[in-house]
Amino acid sequence: MKESTPKTFTECAIDVIKKIPRGRVATYGQIAALAGNPMAARQIAWILNSNWKCDKLPWQRIIGSKGRISLPSGNGLETQRSLLRREGVSVTNDGAIDLDRFQWNPKKISRWQA
């Protein structure tokens, strides 16, 4: 039979992103790790770029490693900030988010929290 469609890292990442609960945020590295490659955070960015406009991925829940929105102001920062606040996430004007309070913490993982 056909080999079972080897899910690419992208597919896995998308799957993970879709699982992010509302009112919670995740970092690129976190998603990358869940997808199987903690260092492929870069790929995550590309995925969002390819899906945020045509897919229903909660791209707004994806933020930088320091709990901060990576989008430049005037180009999505406010949009993301608005969406997050709407979900109950506190975001500063600078785009900073309290990871201690809102970072998605799946039970299967426990490495990045140290």
Stretch that binds DNA, among 32-40, 85-93, 97-105 (CB under 7 A): 32-40
63 close to 70: Cβ distance less than 8 angstroms: yes
Instruction: List all residues 6 or more positions away from 73 whose beta carbon is below 8 Å from its beta carbon.
Output: 95
Residues 50-109 that bind DNA (CB under 7 A): 50, 52, 59-60, 62-66, 69-71, 76, 80
> Whose structure tokens read 């999505």?
76
Q: In angstroms, rounded to a whole number, what is the distance separating the alpha carbons of residues 78 and 80?
A: 5
Q: Does 44 bind DNA (CB under 7 A)?
A: yes
Nearest approach, Cβ of residue 9 and DNA (Å): 4
Nearest approach, Cβ of residue 29 and DNA (Å): 4
Nearest by Cα to 14 from 40, 4, 72: 40
**Residue ranges in contact with DNA by CB under 7 A:** 8-10, 27-29, 37, 39-46, 48-50, 52, 59-60, 62-66, 69-71, 76, 80, 112
